Each structure stands twice: as structure tokens, then as C-alpha cells.
Amino acid sequence: MHSLQFTAETTVDGVLERDFTVAGVPGVLWSPASATGRAPLVLMGHGGGTHKRWPAMTGRARLLVHGCGFHVAVVDAPGHGDRPRTPHDEAEIAELYRARAAGEPEGPIVVRYNAHLAERAVPEWHATLDALQALPEIGADGPVGFYGLNMGTAIGVPFVAAEPRITAAVFGLHWPDALAEAARRITVPVEFSLQWDDEHIPRAAGLALFDAFASREKTLHANTGKHKELPRFEADSAVRFFARHLGGTVTPAA
């Protein structure tokens, strides 16, 4: 097993924030600064073109730590954040920008490039979870959730389908093409967001991915607005979802 090395540590406003690496993959672990004993863990996947400290990541991490007392970990996806891009990464990103500038659909490029990144990222997530569970404050038998939208769903769906330690997941904002087959193997509770007026993902495609999950308990949250206009209150909903399924109660923001 690859072990986890902490490389930096700060505490801000009651949240202990530790940079770490596992087998060269850099991540951040947010934890309650005053915690005693073990607490559930939520793994979060960031979106395409962003990284482990993107505001959506730090904001959701703080909601989960403050609201539920959970640990929250994010790692940089391959080719993202502090990690180098391969020539293949560069070519796909250039192709995405070219299509965007030309007004062509982005979907086919995002779907195939994210599927490629998922193949690289899924083994890293298994190893990261192994290493995180070796920490005494997390432990090997506690509940673990996964929370990832956009590219975080493209990586998270195959990861959760293959990872029995994940017991609840929040997904959304992706196409079914490369994910429906893995989604049909997921049976844990799922909360899934899509945007009703998404200019990239056709409505029927988003509904088809939600439909594919085999989970007995799954909830679709569809909101008006375009691809990047997911309402902020969906992050609060995700916190309550994880509180229900990983154990714990939500403490409202002060």
C-alpha cells in the first residue's frame, strides 16, 4: 500500500487543512480542528479545468466539516492542478478550445477525454482511499461518501461502481454515453443534479444517466438554468444527503 505523506498544515476557522500526497498524487484533507475520535470521510472530485483548491471544493469541504464534522479529501485529477499534462492532455484540451471557439458541440470531446482521465484517476482514488483509511482519525471501517459533479462524475461513477467502501454518492452534470454502464452497477443511495436548460448536455441525456443508476434510493434535482448555473443551495442539500447516509446531524451555519 502507498502511504500518505502530509506536506503542509494550516488551521483556519475551526478547519484543519492538510496537504498530502499518495504515490505522487497531491491532495488536501479537511478535518474538524477539534475532533476527537473517528468521523466519516467524503471524497470529492473536482470539475474539468479546475483543481483541488477550486472555490467549489473549499466551499463544499467547509460545509461538510462545519455542518457534519466529517473529513473531506480532494486530489488533483490527472493533468490538473499541480500535476503535469501529457501530450495527449494538451491535444484534447486544444481540441476542446477549438470546438468551443468554432461553436461546435463540446460534448463528444468532453465525454471521450473525461473517460480517458477516469481510466487514469480511478486507480489513484482506490490508493488514496486505502491511505486515508490508514489514518487513525478515519479508520478502515467507517462510512465513506463520494461527491463529484461534471468531471467529478465522469471519474466518480466508474470509481464508485468498483469501490464497495463508498456507501453514498452525489453526482451530476454529465452525459450518459461513457457512464451509463458503470452507473447500472451502482446500488448505493445517489443524489444527482442536472440543469434543466443545460446548453451542453441535452435534457434527455441527463435524465438517462440518472435513470441508469441501479440504486433503490436515488433522487434527481433538476434546476432551471444553464450548465454552470447550479444553485448554491444544492451544496447544502448534498451536506444533508451525506448526513443522512454517513451518519450525523447537520449543524446550521452560524
Q: Which residues bind a second copy (CB under 8 A)?
A: 196, 207, 210-211, 215-224, 231, 233, 236-237, 240, 244, 249-250, 252
Residue nearer to a second copy on the CB measure, 84 or 216: 216
Contact of 51 with 151, CB cutoff 8 Å: no
Neighbouring C-beta atoms of residue 106, cutoff 10 Å = 17
As a whole number of angstroms, the distance between CA 144 and CA 134 comes to: 13
Min. distance of Cβ 123 from a second copy in angstroms? 31
**CA-to-CA distance for 199 and 187, rounded, in angstroms?**
29
Minimum Å gap between C-beta 187 and a second copy is: 11
7 or 249: CB nearest a second copy: 249
180 grid coordinates:
451509463
Contact 102, 60 (CB under 8 A): no
Neighbours of 112 (CB within 10 A): 14
Question: How far does the chain reach from its first CA to its final CA, in angstroms?
Answer: 40
Minimum CB distance to a second copy, residue 97 (Å): 31
Q: Looking at beta carbons only, is 79 or 143 nearer to a second copy?
A: 143
In terms of Cα–Cα distance, which of 167, 188, 181, 237 is closest to 209? 181
Residue with Cβ nearer a second copy (108 or 202): 202
The closest alpha carbon to 116, from 78, 74, 66, belongs to: 78
How many Å apart are CA 26 and CA 15, to the nearest integer?
19
Q: Which is nearer to a second copy, 97 or 233 (CB)?
A: 233
> Which is nearer to a second copy, 90 or 229 (by Cβ)?
229
CB of 30 to a second copy, least distance (A): 23
State how far Cα 247 lies from the chain centre. 19
Looking at the Cβ atoms of 21 and 215, the one nearer to a second copy is: 215
**Smallest gap, in angstroms, from Cβ of residue 22 to a second copy?**
35
Joined together, the cell numbers standing for residue 197 give 436548460
Quote the least distance from Cβ 158 to a second copy, whole Å: 22
Contact 222, 195 (CB under 8 A): yes
- 74's enclosing H/E stretch is strand 71-75
Rounded least distance, CB 37 to a second copy, Å: 22
